[in-house]
Amino acid sequence: MYAELLKMVKNKNFYIGAACLLLLVIGAVVTGVKEYNEYVKLLQRIYHHNQNVLALTSPHFAWIGLGGYSFNVLSALYYFLFPLLLSIPLADSIYRDQSSGNLHYQLTRMGKGVYYRRKFLFAYISAFFLFLLPLLLGVVLVNLLTNHWDYSSFSHAYRQLMDGTLQLPDNSFEGEKKTLFSSLLAISPYWYIFVYYVIGGLFAGGYVCLGLAFSLVMKNRYLITLLPQIIYMVCWAVLTITNKLGWDPFNFLVPSQPVEGLSYHKIVIVFALQFMMALGVFWYGVKKNEDVL
């Protein structure tokens, strides 16, 4: 694993993908905090007498994926482009070993089973953390810019909102109720967002491993890198056209829960299908390349 880490760090594509992810996060944070400050000023003028409204108007909505108080383009782009940005440094690692002649040496030194298992695990784990870490940085940046770290007042108000005991001037905050992981949001927004970021990281690893798997059966490096993004976008297009939005990974990975029809079992089923597809294609590609020695 250490050798794989060194190769990734020496790969200039790693810095391209990581820089793009970080720039999207920083841009989304700046935009989200600006929108939050403007929205708070508006509500303070209108509802200055109602502390419940102000409690539900929380800075954590500027965290990546939660959407803020208007559509945040950069936040959405992070979730729309992450398969490509993660695949740039990771999906073609076996292809690069083949092209450089290093594959034959590695298989001779450690054996085929060990080599391919390490490649798959390293790609999955690396994609998981490359997806997760910029988002966690975004949480810290929002908190720093708003000087807000304690979200207990929001969670208390949210519990009352779910119980129907929170006194509000109208029903405009009904949309704050979440279908999934609502109990975590009632404990703390930190738990809620962390679970969503971890789920996103698991899917990110799966998409990168799909690209890695297809690199064993395809010879076009650019197509290998683009394939996870293509699969992601095709699913989005097909499920949108067929009005199956609750099954689309984009919609259930985004913490704002932008559509109706989301459920826990759909997330589990889609994840299992994605992972089994990656494993199946990878196994087929390994068997196809048995004669490499």
Query: What would the DSSP string read from start to end of 143-181?
Result: HHHHT----HHHHHHHHHHHHT----SSSTTGGG--SSS
- By percentage, how much of the chain surpasses pLDDT 90? 68
d(CA 160, CA 214): 50
Provide the whole-model pTM. 0.93
pLDDT digits (tens, 9 = 90+) for 212-221: 999 998 888 8
Judge residue 233's burial from the number of C-beta atoms within 10 Å of its C-beta, 0-12 exposed, 13-18 middle, 19 or more buried: middle
Closest Cα to residue 253, out of 132, 161, 130, 133?
132
| Mean pLDDT, residues 140-165 taken together | 93
Q: Is the dihedral of CA 131, 279, 121, 220 positive or negative?
A: negative
Residues with Cβ < 8 Å from 85, sequence gap 6 or more?
Answer: 17, 20, 21
- Looking at every residue in the chain, the average pLDDT score rounds to 90
pLDDT of residue 291: 58
Specify whether the CB–CB gap between 61 and 69 falls below 8 A.
yes
Specify whether the CB–CB gap between 210 and 127 falls below 8 A.
no
pLDDT digits (tens, 9 = 90+) for 76-133: 999 999 999 999 999 988 888 888 777 777 777 787 888 899 999 999 999 999 999 9
pLDDT of residue 172: 67
Specify whether the CB–CB gap between 54 and 44 falls below 8 A.
yes
pLDDT of residue 293: 45
pLDDT digits (tens, 9 = 90+) for 227-284: 999 999 999 999 999 999 999 999 999 999 999 999 999 999 999 999 999 999 999 9
Specify whether the CB–CB gap between 173 and 162 falls below 8 A.
no
Measure CA 242 to chain center: 24
